[in-house]
Amino acid sequence: MLTTTFGALADPTRLAIVTRLSRGEATMGELAAPHRMTPPAMTKHVGVLVDAGLVTRRKAGRTVVCTIRPEAFTEVEAWLGDLTAYWNSTVDRLEELLRGGGDGT
């Protein structure tokens, strides 16, 4: 799932869409406007995000409204938490060694 998520977010336009949706739902037109993008191009980008499970879309009359799925980012959050814990402990060990408090093992 991480590779699917990061693959979808690897495109700058899709990353911008997710960033915008993190502030609240938006119509396809609202999402397309800052990118000067045609509706079919925006539909394609949003489709990638929907297929990755990061975004949902629903019809409201003739308008399509997109919403972020915060729960879809739980795995990313856990992965980043693991990396943060690893690097924090590594830096702590390095600091201890530099202060002469460790034996290097």
Per-residue pLDDT of the chain (105 residues; tens, 9 = 90+): 889 999 999 999 999 999 999 999 999 999 999 998 898 999 999 999 999 999 999 999 999 999 999 999 888 888 888 788 777 777 777 787 888 866 655
Q: State residue 105's pLDDT score.
A: 58
CATH code at position 30: 1.10.10.10
Q: What is the pLDDT of residue 80?
A: 83
CB atoms within 10 A of CB 33: 12
Q: Is residue 77 part of a domain?
A: yes
The answer to whether 92 touches 98, Cβ cutoff 8 Å, is: no
| In the chain, beta strands by DSSP E | 26-27, 55-60, 63-68
Tally the domains of the chain: 1
> Cα separation of 90 and 68, whole Å?
34
How are beta strands 26-27 and 63-68 bridged, if at all?
Answer: antiparallel
Res 90: pLDDT: 77
Q: What is the pLDDT of residue 95?
A: 80
Q: Has residue 39 been placed in a domain?
A: yes
